[in-house]
């Protein structure tokens, strides 16, 4: 069975940074966030808490895999179709939904949420707004 790199956010860590960090830790591959494709919310999860899972599309900046031995048995690049065709993926509803979303993105039929750096209105702290990039931003230069 093959799967995508996964992990949890560190306290105070942004989603886009956590996705990049987890891929780097588990595979040694440098990457940058392209979009958040989807997210799932569940309740009564780990430690009886609610949980959010984000499906992120990243662009690799390096390709040499150096797997994290403590967490991963094997790591390799493979065609997406090969991943999606695995019986484990096809037999689990959530993984099949995620696979279909990824496939639609690859085919240009789906757009997720891009990270737009911004600041909060009260404290002026840096933050990220995740939005569909087909929406024109108020005050943007490309209007």
Domain count, the chain: 1
SS3 84: helix
Residue 78 has a CB neighbour count (10 Å cut-off) of 9
- pLDDT, tens digit (0-9, with 9 covering 90-100), for 105-143: 999 999 999 988 899 888 888 888 898 877 655 555 554
CATH number, position 2? 3.90.79.10
24 is a domain residue: yes
Say if CB 113 and CB 55 are below 8 A apart.
no
Range of the domain at 39: 1-77
Residue 25 catalytic? yes
128 is a domain residue: no
How far apart are the C-alpha atoms of 44 and 91, rounded to whole Å? 23
Q: Would you state the structure tokens that stand for residue 120, as one six-digit string?
A: 């909060």
86 is a domain residue: no
- pLDDT, tens digit (0-9, with 9 covering 90-100), for 15-50: 999 999 999 999 999 999 999 999 999 998 888 888
- pLDDT, tens digit (0-9, with 9 covering 90-100), for 95-104: 999 999 999 9
120 is a domain residue: no
Q: Which of 25, 26, 71, 107 is catalytic?
A: 25
71 is a domain residue: yes
């Amino acid at each position: 069975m093959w799967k995508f790199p996964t992990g949890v956010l560190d306290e105070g860590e942004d989603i886009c940074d956590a996705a990049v960090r987890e891929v780097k830790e588990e595979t040694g591959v440098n990457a940058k966030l392209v979009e958040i494709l989807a997210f799932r919310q569940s309740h009564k999860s780990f430690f009886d808490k609610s949980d959010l899972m984000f499906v992120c599309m990243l662009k690799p900046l390096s390709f040499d895999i150096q797997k994290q031995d403590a967490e991963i048995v094997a790591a390799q690049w493979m065609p997406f179709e090969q991943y999606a065709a695995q019986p484990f993926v096809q037999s689990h509803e959530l993984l099949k939904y995620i696979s279909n979303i990824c496939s639609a993105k690859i085919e240009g039929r789906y757009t997720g949420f891009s990270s737009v750096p911004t600041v909060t209105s009260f404290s002026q702290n840096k933050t990220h707004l995740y939005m569909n990039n087909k929406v024109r931003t108020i005050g943007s230069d490309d209007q």
